[in-house]
Structure 1
């Protein structure tokens, strides 16, 4: 899915105005009408609907039940818990770890805003659901369990996780079969989350940080790309971005020079135009830019690369290279495109805060953009998803005007059944996937894959690129929604 976009090529056309053109959409929902606090709350409810394992008593989606309680049994290890990544029933380590890292980044960037919205405890619970699982998955030294479930068999049966009988095969990385991307991303998840829990649960935070250190060491000592999660999560970008990402989070968590030394002397970085589960360079670059402004002068290259990302995405930048739909949505590729929308919005939002705090601008050729420009663009992306678009409809289930009703999601599209109910796999697609009716269970808060590059959208379960949600689309929305809920931004 992810593709590296290397050094920026200059655009020939200069755009004179720094103001964003705001097209008029007949019937569109005006941004002033959007309830960001409600969207934030519902974003977190969706993550609860993606939980695997034994559910807690305060679990909000009532139609979900316990599932996959024998996960790990085939490998004689307890792997119960964690998250299903999307509308199927497989647990993939790489996107799950990225979900946790980005949730943690949001919690660390907007703690006051999340507290004001009454959602900080729900964010911590969402993070902990992932980190508890990763502690189990990394219980053996130099070994990390990275996938549970057989994706091929899983996709041959349309069944809710509570009733699935498909194989729960287990994949792992170790010293003989390395997977630097997954080990390093899991390290980043544990390091960032350790900071989140530091003030409320020191013992747990220390446990997470120690695990982050060992996973980072494992990732560095046994380098290699792991393709076991292909074709569903193939690392196209390589592992240098994950190593930089993990080292950056470990330095922020520990302030130990060994991690900064890696960043300064060993890491490989690049100017990119994307932030995603496969491509984390700009995430690290934004974090390192803050350290640069604080006085770490050796980090200027990373600050310049963060600026390059902004220049490549802002429509009014002379270096703009990312396609924006007629309605104003960032569009990188079909298939969960909204992950790039929320990812762009969050990076822009986080970097705008840093620029504002240190009174800095981003320079793109002869133009300069301040924090306000960045936040205006971030808001525009989130507003588009929530209803301020040519179709005048929300792309978040259960939120706003005319929200989607046919999420491509097994649990939501099937009625609740007894635990021992048998599902006929060949007929399951006829009975539930292909049925053109609203889902019996509302997948509250799920941001679906979204419209195409021409702002067209089909609310059909069978059109999975448009109607399938993923956890990391929502995890990247949480921080920016908290900011929008707390501050009046025009």
Structure 2
């Protein structure tokens, strides 16, 4: 049944205006945070605690949030912290008579993609609900608030009326043909939508989840989710409480949930908007509906939403025994029993059987930690590797697994399981933070050994699309806090600017870094992160990568120079003939989903 708010455009549009107009003042930071020099990351801070927080972890969180400021689109505010960023793409949506300015650029180029962005927002809200006490202790609560609001206010614009959700701004094919700063981005830019008449069930549901999780976070001063069956609550950010804003977000959640469950046919959004799905093709919608139903139940304090969503939850005896998929913006199955367990502990009136979801979560984590999960292995350095997923961005699947293992470990049914899941989470985070063959943290600007060449058109400072590795030789701007794609299966990291599987940055890559930082702060981890005690230079791999950006060469045949020359000629012809292909594929094209589905 459609809600009153969803079926009437008037109240919704009024709320849209409020949400996008900056009607409610944000909290003011105690002092402006700017990333410190990378050299600070090479100094032990273990004995210099402030509010019980190791300054290295405070900087880690501060830098990770600063990265989102660097990715902002639209008219930048007066308190913009990123000196080299400019207002940009202020006319987004104009071709469709819609205001789609603002929001965040998705990755190393300039598209704005709704479906993966909703997962990013939900992840940020989820980690804040679980470990949010860290924000005030590290004086980053104002920056969490501004990051969430910048994203949620844009998402409110994207839900432009009761029946419409805009899912992409920019064209993935032509956008990659521009490599340069934020002042000369070609326009006007096209926008693509899904509607009640031409639906995208997964995108509607994913956006409902983002709004619902955020509405709950803002709605109550003590709003939090448990991270164990007992003990102190570590979550919630009391200082950002704003009931009026929460109510506006919740109305968007209700409207999008209505679209997800009541529009027909149920289908993935890239069926309705194929261009929008070029970079982020969705494989199904069932997990999005189950995920959104749980978040709606929490935000509305109404078990009926959970019951609706759980219709799409993996059912049957030992259903999770065959779930092998990594957790990411497309596949949320692994997160479902973890969130359901938290909700069962949080509110018994939801009627969720905790033991059922514990069994499902442990089926997943036990197979993962014991090395018995199909399609999953570990590198020699210990990084979990999902065949297909990790080839395109190795750190993200491992860090998302660490995120949900961290959330769940306190609910484990035995001490041995608790230890195994805790080890899973800590080992993957420590790998990110410097316990790796690269001998540096995979976080830009955090340490002298941090990656130097993130694949970012904004930060690079060049405009020669045919020579981005050396134009300019040194990246012009430091993209502090950015997490790159990560090393290959041999733990090698080449730090090459055009090697997008390894060096491109993205909004969703940073979300589990923030989750890891707030978890360690909230849990009073004061020991230095691994990068603080590293010695020696970064171990940048030599030679040539072998990945989608640098395909393996056949033995014999043409020399590399000849191959490059021929490739350039072919590219020029393709540009002239079709005008729709990029010089290189951007990192987000998930070709492997088109070839096979792994797991459920």
Deviation at 1:378, TM superposition (A): 1.1
Task: Give the Cα–Cα distance (whole angstroms) in 1 for the partners of residues 282 and 526 of structure 2.
Answer: 36
Deviation at 1:320, TM superposition (A): 7.6
User: Which secondary structure does the structure 1 equivalent of 2:444 belong to?
Assistant: coil
Counterpart check, 1:45 vs 2:81: no
Task: Give the Cα–Cα distance (whole angstroms) in 1 for the partners of residues 420 and 312 of structure 2.
Answer: 34
* Aligned match of 2:398: 341
Deviation at 1:483, TM superposition (A): 1.8
Counterpart check, 1:276 vs 2:276: no
* Aligned match of 2:76: 55
User: Which secondary structure does the structure 1 equivalent of 2:391 belong to?
Assistant: coil
Written as runs of structure 1 = structure 2, the 5 A alignment for 1:291-330 is 291-293=343-345, 295=348, 296-298=351-353, 300-314=355-369, 316=370, 322-330=376-384
User: Which secondary structure does the structure 2 equivalent of 1:383 belong to?
Assistant: helix
Deviation at 1:79, TM superposition (A): 0.5
Task: Give the Cα–Cα distance (whole angstroms) in 2 for the partners of residues 433 and 167 of structure 1.
Answer: 28
2:345·2:354 contact (CA, 8 Å) conserved in 1? no
> Which of 425, 430, 455 is the matching residue for 1:378?
425
Deviation at 1:319, TM superposition (A): 5.3
Counterpart check, 1:211 vs 2:216: no
Task: Give the Cα–Cα distance (whole angstroms) in 2 for the partners of residues 90 and 205 of structure 1.
Answer: 28
Counterpart check, 1:352 vs 2:397: no
Counterpart check, 1:387 vs 2:434: yes
Moved more, 158-167 or 389-398: 158-167
> Which of 215, 238, 259 is the matching residue for 1:194?
215
Q: Name which one, 1 or 2, has greater alpha-carbon Rg.
A: 2
Over 3 Å counting, the alpha-carbon distance change for 1:469 and 1:45 in structure 2 is: same
Task: Give the Cα–Cα distance (whole angstroms) in 1 for the partners of residues 374 and 362 of structure 2.
Answer: 12
Counterpart check, 1:455 vs 2:491: yes
Counterpart check, 1:109 vs 2:130: yes
1:157·1:428 contact (CA, 8 Å) conserved in 2? no
* Aligned match of 1:100: 121
Over 3 Å counting, the alpha-carbon distance change for 1:480 and 1:353 in structure 2 is: farther
Task: Give the Cα–Cα distance (whole angstroms) in 1 for the partners of residues 366 and 467 of structure 2.
Answer: 48
User: What do the CA deviations read for 1:414-452 (whole angstroms, capped 9, x no partner)?
Assistant: 16xxxxxxxxxxx72146455372210001100111100
- Consecutive unaligned residues in structure 2, runs of 5 or more: 1-41, 47-53, 222-240, 528-600
User: Which secondary structure does the structure 2 equivalent of 1:171 belong to?
Assistant: strand
- Consecutive unaligned residues in structure 1, runs of 5 or more: 1-28, 363-367, 416-426
* Aligned match of 2:337: 285
Deviation at 1:385, TM superposition (A): 1.2
1:276·1:340 contact (CA, 8 Å) conserved in 2? yes
Counterpart check, 1:361 vs 2:414: yes
User: Which secondary structure does the structure 2 equivalent of 1:396 belong to?
Assistant: coil
Over 3 Å counting, the alpha-carbon distance change for 1:322 and 1:73 in structure 2 is: same
Task: Give the Cα–Cα distance (whole angstroms) in 2 for the partners of residues 193 and 74 of structure 1.
Answer: 30
User: Which secondary structure does the structure 2 equivalent of 1:442 belong to?
Assistant: coil
User: Which secondary structure does the structure 2 equivalent of 1:83 belong to?
Assistant: coil
1:342·1:381 contact (CA, 8 Å) conserved in 2? yes
1:292·1:300 contact (CA, 8 Å) conserved in 2? no
User: Which secondary structure does the structure 2 equivalent of 1:246 belong to?
Assistant: helix
User: What do the CA deviations read for 1:235-260 (whole angstroms, capped 9, x no partner)?
Assistant: 12x00000011100011111213212
Task: Give the Cα–Cα distance (whole angstroms) in 1 for the partners of residues 57 and 166 of structure 2.
Answer: 37
1:91·1:147 contact (CA, 8 Å) conserved in 2? yes
Task: Give the Cα–Cα distance (whole angstroms) in 2 for the partners of residues 338 and 47 of structure 1.
Answer: 18
Deviation at 1:213, TM superposition (A): 1.0
Written as runs of structure 1 = structure 2, the 5 A alignment for 1:246-261 is 246-261=292-307
1:191·1:212 contact (CA, 8 Å) conserved in 2? yes
Task: Give the Cα–Cα distance (whole angstroms) in 1 for the partners of residues 470 and 43 of structure 2.
Answer: 34
TM-score by length of 1: 0.84
Deviation at 1:147, TM superposition (A): 0.5
* Aligned match of 1:19: none
Q: Which runs of 4+ in 1 moved over 6 A?
A: 29-34
Written as runs of structure 1 = structure 2, the 5 A alignment for 1:341-490 is 341-355=398-412, 360-361=413-414, 368-370=416-418, 372-414=419-461, 428-430=464-466, 432-435=468-471, 437-486=473-522, 487-488=524-525
> Which of 150, 153, 177 is the matching residue for 2:171?
150
* Aligned match of 1:25: none
Over 3 Å counting, the alpha-carbon distance change for 1:312 and 1:400 in structure 2 is: farther
Task: Give the Cα–Cα distance (whole angstroms) in 2 for the partners of residues 202 and 299 of structure 1.
Answer: 30
TM-score by length of 2: 0.69
Deviation at 1:48, TM superposition (A): 1.1
Over 3 Å counting, the alpha-carbon distance change for 1:465 and 1:475 in structure 2 is: same
2:95·2:188 contact (CA, 8 Å) conserved in 1? no
Task: Give the Cα–Cα distance (whole angstroms) in 1 for the partners of residues 328 and 381 of structure 2.
Answer: 22
Deviation at 1:336, TM superposition (A): 2.1
Over 3 Å counting, the alpha-carbon distance change for 1:149 and 1:235 in structure 2 is: same
